[in-house]
Amino acid sequence: MKLSGISVALLILLLLLIMQSIGGYLQIQDYRKAVRRMRQLGNIGMGQKRGKVLNGHVAIVACDSKGIITGCEVLDGIGVLSRFHKKETFMGQPLVGSSIYTFLDIAEGLDKKEWKRFQGYFRAFEALEVRLDDSRELTREQEAFMETKRGKAGKKLR
C-alpha cells in the first residue's frame, strides 16, 4: 500500500497531535505532584507569566503563617517536555527563609518591563499575601465570635 503526499502529511499531523496530547497530560500530572509537594510545606501561592515563545513560567511558592518562604518550584522551559524544579534563589537573594514581604517591596521598586519579566513570582507572592491577610481577618472574626459566646469575663455562656 503506497501513501500519497497528502496522506503522509495527515499521518504526520496526527502523530504530532497525539504526542502533544500525551505531553500535555504528563505536564498536568507533574503540576499536580508539585502542588501536593508544596502544600506539605505550608500555604501556597501560584503565579504565571505567559511567554510568547521562550520566556513563560509558572511559580508555586509555599510559606508559613508569618510569610516566611519554605519552598518554591518553577516550571519554565519550552513545550510540554519541561518539568517543575526547585528554585533556590530569586533576584540574587535566597528564597527559602526570606519573607514574601521583602520580595513584594522589591516589586514595588521595579519598572514595568522588569516586573513583567518576573510576573509569575510576584503574582505568587501577592496570592500568599492575600491568603495570609484573609486568615488574620478570620482569626479576628473568630475572636469576636468567642467574646460574644463567652462574654467579657471569659465564662462560657449556655
Task: Please count the structural domains in the chain.
Answer: 1
Q: What is the pLDDT of residue 39?
A: 93
Domain housing 123: 5-150
Q: What is the pLDDT of residue 143?
A: 65
Is there a domain that residue 61 lies in? yes
Cell of residue 72, nine digits: 518554591
| Cα separations in angstroms, 59 against 35, 138, 141 | 10, 27, 31
Is there a domain that residue 157 lies in? no
Mean pLDDT by 10 residues, the chain (158 residues): 81 92 88 92 91 81 92 84 88 90 89 88 92 72 61 46
Q: What is the pLDDT of residue 142?
A: 62
Q: Are strands 69-76 and 43-49 parallel, antiparallel or unpaired?
A: unpaired
Q: What is the pLDDT of residue 86?
A: 93
| Cα separations in angstroms, 34 against 40, 76, 141 | 10, 13, 33
| Cα separations in angstroms, 152 against 2, 11, 16 | 89, 77, 69
* Among candidate residues 30, 86, 91, the one with its CA nearest the CA of residue 59: 86
Q: What is the pLDDT of residue 101?
A: 92
Is there a domain that residue 133 lies in? yes
State pLDDT tens for residues 64-95.
Answer: 989 899 999 999 877 777 889 999 998 888 99
DSSP state of 96: T
Is there a domain that residue 13 lies in? yes
* Among candidate residues 126, 110, 119, the one with its CA nearest the CA of residue 51: 119
Is there a domain that residue 156 lies in? no
Cell of residue 123, nine digits: 503574582
pTM of this structure: 0.75
Q: What is the pLDDT of residue 156?
A: 44
Is there a domain that residue 110 lies in? yes
- 45 forms beta bridges with 61
Is there a domain that residue 158 lies in? no
* Among candidate residues 116, 119, 90, the one with its CA nearest the CA of residue 102: 90
- 49 forms beta bridges with 57
